């Protein structure tokens, strides 16, 4: 269908649109017109992604003189592929109506592990090893050696891509990661570097949050993105946690042992170069004396991770004299590792701010703040000079330099917390030193400052007024939408008289008392574990049990993989039982430090934040059960605390609107009776349009009437 929202013709690839999608587009357009940021909460299963894509691409088409780029950020590769598949459908529809002028280039960008087509490199087991395998074949010095010695292995896909030079382009269209791999194989070009090159020309780029929020990645991938871009963070209910993780570092004894091994290897490499090619080390020293940029215009294959500090906080000056010589820099790192080893050797929990920690490093190890700031870039320069390709072997010393640069750069918004053991297992010594960021606004500030509009959206952003405070920004639009339904297909209730405990405890108790055996006579039981492969297998078998009519129960934990990213649509999920309120571990020293910072800096009370955080997790869990309007499901909150207004009021409005007062204090018998009634009702044929006079699908004609009413 095609309709107007003020001066924009919106192309929407379906015959009908939900009222909330239409309202969502109107609010989104307001934000784009104002060139400002917005917060939009849209119920799950109401077509949020296609509403976003339709409005923003149509907005860009209607303003050909000032086209805007869409940068769409997702949490997972699965979500990225789903978004690109929706965009492909929309793009075909727009071309059908507008012809060639609607053509765009849209690409997904992910790590080498997800885009590489070289079987030798792909054989590596993890992302870091794939990255290193790629560098071993594509680094500039490796290719220079291969030019003289044909026995030196290189990557044929990358060589072909380089030879194609400016001809290596992707024609207009929408490309999923799979499409890019197929295209790369057909052309014989490397899909990863091709995609990296094309993101600056693409109209739509879909990639992970980290590519904008983690300075180490954003500094390499996203620095060329133009200001006239709309950035969308989808499923952004946990965006504050992503921001904090991007600027936090943990150091354990294993890290320090690994760093010592790395330093020994670097020392050997320095000695080797002194004997065979001392001029390289001299050239590096001279470059650092002159204060030239460490990176300059490096070949794309040599670019390692960027500086972990935010762009405005990186020193634009010469490297300090005491770390210009490679061996002097090594001595500084050895002293730093030794100092950290001593700090880990403690029997008490210690908490310190960065300023006093840096002062302590200076007095005990003789390393000043400026030297610490330069550690990451200096290590990067040295590893390039020494032509080190197996970067996956050097992750430990990278972590130490990452820590040093951050602790030397930031005085506020961080704490250093040293714990001799995990409080949940006090008998096992496992010391950890954590540089913990408490201020989510730090990592996202460059994004808000740089781009025209940033859209933060999810099915669970309640209470919506807390996000501007946590992220320290001023949205021009902040709206929460309810779900228009032809029938009450959500049945939330609070079960206050029953028992609950931790998942393992529940399963063990149920097993001992025979309840589990009783359940298994009716349905199979599957359990989420910390092992990804085990959980994937359990999920697969759970679905098979549902498909064949045997039925199943799946036990999982809030804040786990299943609760966040897996949909249980249709017959795969008809009931979610939420045992307890998923509060964070409130004795965590890192959490306590963050709560203190939020209270002192943003005047957010500890109780308010903890309740907000627990309820957004609970809403995520129960939201798994309904993935479209034709779907239906029950939500049982098995804890009397949900019956309190201060708790349940933090749930999204689209759940709250179905939670009746009579369902706030139920026994098991009463819940069972309501469940039977609800399921009988839902078993009736589903009418899309709705026979009860509720308008939940709008046609083009309806929208025209609405437009006339609005303008009349």
pLDDT in tens, 104-129: 999 999 999 999 999 999 888 788 88
CATH architecture, domain 494-683: 3-Layer(aba) Sandwich (3.40)
Mean pLDDT of 512-529: 87
How far is Cα 263 from Cα 483, in angstroms, rounded to an integer?
A: 58
Quick one: which of 461, 37, 12 has its CA closest to 229? 37
How far is Cα 186 from Cα 184, in angstroms, rounded to an integer?
A: 5
| CA dihedral sign of residues 457, 462, 465, 469 | negative
At 686 the pLDDT is 74
Detail the DSSP E strand segments found in 101-190: 105-108, 173-175
How far is Cα 537 from Cα 551, in angstroms, rounded to an integer?
A: 16
DSSP assignment, residue 323?
G
Across the strands, what pairs with 2?
A: 11
Lowest mean pLDDT among 123-137, 303-317, 380-394, 595-609: 303-317
| CA dihedral sign of residues 391, 397, 398, 401 | negative
At 500 the pLDDT is 35
**pLDDT above 90 as % of the chain:** 51
Residue 10: strand, helix, or coil? strand
How far is Cα 92 from Cα 154, in angstroms, rounded to an integer?
A: 39
Give the Å distances, CA to CA, from 413 to 245, 366, 706. 13, 25, 48
The β-bridge relationship of strands 229-233 and 69-74 is parallel
Q: What is the pLDDT of residues 448-462, one digit of tens each?
A: 999 999 999 998 888
Dihedral of the CA atoms 554, 555, 558, 561 (nearest 10)?
-60
Mean pLDDT of 83-110: 94
How far is Cα 152 from Cα 147, in angstroms, rounded to an integer?
A: 8
**What is the location of CATH 3.40.50.300 in the chain?**
494-683
Quick one: which of 520, 299, 264, 493 has its CA closest to 393? 264
Residue 692 pLDDT grade (very low, low, confident, very high; cuts 50, 70, 90): low
Mean pLDDT of 214-238: 88
Q: What is the pLDDT of residues 291-343, one digit of tens each?
A: 644 445 567 777 767 788 877 777 677 788 888 888 999 999 999 999 999 99
Q: What is the pLDDT of residues 127-137, one digit of tens each?
A: 888 999 999 99
At 212 the pLDDT is 93
Residue 711 pLDDT grade (very low, low, confident, very high; cuts 50, 70, 90): very low
Asked if 528 and 560 count as a contact pair (C-beta separation under 8 A), the reply is yes
Give DSSP secondary structure letters for 376-431. Answer: HHHHHHHHHHTT---GGGGHHHHHHHHHHHHHHH-SSSEEEEEEEE-TTSTTSEEE
Q: Is the peptide bond before 463 cis (omega within 30 degrees of 0)?
A: yes
Residue 688 pLDDT grade (very low, low, confident, very high; cuts 50, 70, 90): low
For the chain, what is the mean pLDDT?
88
At 291 the pLDDT is 62
At 18, list the tokens. 């939900």
Whether 87 has a pLDDT exceeding 60, the answer reads: yes
Strands ordered across the beta sheet of 429-437? 249-252, 429-437, 414-421, 350-352
Mean pLDDT of 624-649: 86
At 296 the pLDDT is 53
Lowest mean pLDDT among 110-114, 172-176, 568-572: 568-572
Question: Residues with Cβ < 8 Å from 72, sequence gap 6 or more?
Answer: 52, 53, 83, 204, 205, 206, 207, 232, 234
How far is Cα 454 from Cα 228, in angstroms, rounded to an integer?
A: 11
Dihedral of the CA atoms 270, 272, 276, 277 (nearest 10)?
-20
**pLDDT above 70 as % of the chain:** 94
């Amino acid at each position: 269908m095609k309709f107007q929202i003020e001066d924009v013709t919106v192309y929407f690839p379906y015959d009908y649109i939900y009222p909330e999608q239409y309202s969502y587009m109107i609010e989104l357009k307001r934000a784009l017109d104002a060139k400002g940021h917005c917060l939009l909460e849209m119920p799950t299963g109401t077509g949020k992604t296609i509403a976003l894509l339709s409005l923003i691409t149509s907005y860009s088409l209607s303003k050909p003189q000032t086209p805007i780029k869409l940068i769409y950020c997702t949490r997972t590769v699965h979500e990225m592929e789903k978004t690109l598949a929706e965009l492909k459908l929309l793009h075909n529809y727009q071309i059908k109506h507008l012809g060639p002028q609607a053509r765009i280039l849209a690409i997904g960008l992910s790590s080498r592990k997800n885009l590489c087509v070289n079987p030798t490199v792909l054989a590596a087991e993890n992302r870091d090893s794939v990255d290193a395998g790629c560098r071993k074949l594509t680094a500039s010095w490796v290719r220079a050696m291969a030019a003289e010695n044909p026995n030196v292995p290189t990557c044929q896909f990358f060589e072909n891509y380089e030879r194609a030079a400016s001809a290596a382009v992707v024609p207009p269209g929408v490309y999923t990661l799979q499409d890019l791999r197929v295209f790369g194989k057909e052309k014989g070009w490397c899909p990863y570097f091709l995609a990296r090159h094309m993101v600056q020309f693409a109209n739509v780029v879909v990639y992970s949050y980290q590519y904008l929020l983690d300075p180490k990645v954003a500094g390499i991938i996203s620095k060329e993105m133009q200001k006239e871009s709309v950035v969308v963070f989808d499923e952004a209910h946990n965006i504050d946690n992503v921001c904090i993780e991007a600027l936090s570092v943990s150091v354990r004894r294993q890290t320090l042992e690994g760093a010592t091994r790395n330093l020994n290897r670097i020392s050997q490499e320095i000695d080797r170069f002194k004997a065979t090619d001392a001029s390289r080390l001299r050239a590096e020293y001279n470059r650092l004396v002159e204060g030239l940029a460490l990176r300059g215009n490096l070949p794309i294959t040599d670019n390692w991770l960027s500086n972990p500090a935010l762009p405005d906080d990186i020193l634009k000056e010469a490297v300090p004299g005491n770390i210009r010589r490679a061996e002097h820099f090594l001595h500084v790192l050895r002293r730093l590792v030794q100092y950290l080893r001593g700090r880990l050797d403690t029997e008490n929990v210690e908490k310190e701010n960065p300023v006093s920690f840096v002062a302590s490093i200076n007095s005990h190890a003789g390393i000043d703040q400026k030297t610490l700031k330069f550690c990451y870039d200096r290590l990067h320069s040295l590893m390039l000079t020494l032509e080190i390709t197996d970067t996956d072997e050097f992750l430990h010393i990278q972590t130490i330099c990452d820590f040093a640069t951050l602790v030397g750069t930031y005085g506020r918004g961080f704490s250093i917390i040293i714990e001799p053991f995990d409080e949940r297992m006090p008998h096992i010594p496992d010391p950890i030193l954590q540089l913990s960021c408490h201020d989510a606004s730090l990592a996202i500030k460059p994004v808000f400052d740089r781009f025209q509009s940033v859209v933060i959206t999810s099915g669970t952003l309640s209470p919506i007024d807390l996000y501007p405070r946590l992220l320290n920004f001023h949205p021009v639009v902040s709206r929460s939408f309810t779900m228009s339904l032809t029938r009450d297909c959500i049945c939330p209730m609070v079960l206050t008289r029953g028992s609950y405990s931790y998942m393992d405890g529940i399963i063990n108790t149920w097993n001992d008392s025979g309840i589990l055996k009783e359940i298994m006579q009716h349905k199979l039981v599957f359990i989420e574990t910390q092992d990804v492969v085990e959980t994937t297998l359990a999920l697969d078998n759970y679905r098979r049990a549902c498909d064949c009519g045997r039925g199943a129960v799946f036990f999982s934990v809030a804040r786990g993989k299943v609760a966040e990213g897996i949909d249980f649509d249709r017959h795969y999920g008809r009931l979610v039982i939420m045992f307890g309120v998923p509060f964070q571990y409130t004795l965590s020293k890192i959490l306590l430090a963050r709560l203190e910072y939020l209270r002192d800096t943003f005047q957010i009370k500890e109780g308010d934040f903890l309740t907000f955080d627990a309820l957004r997790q609970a809403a995520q869990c129960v939201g798994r059960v309904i993935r479209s309007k034709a779907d239906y499901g029950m939500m049982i909150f098995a804890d009397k605390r949900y019956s309190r207004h201060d708790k349940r009021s933090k749930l999204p409005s689209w759940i709250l609107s179905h939670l009746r007062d009579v369902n706030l204090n139920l026994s098991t018998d009463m819940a069972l009776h309501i469940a039977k009634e609800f399921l009988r009702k839902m078993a009736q044929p589903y009418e899309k349009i709705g026979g009860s006079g509720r308008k939940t699908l709008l046609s083009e004609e309806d929208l025209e009437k609405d437009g006339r009413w609005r303008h009349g």
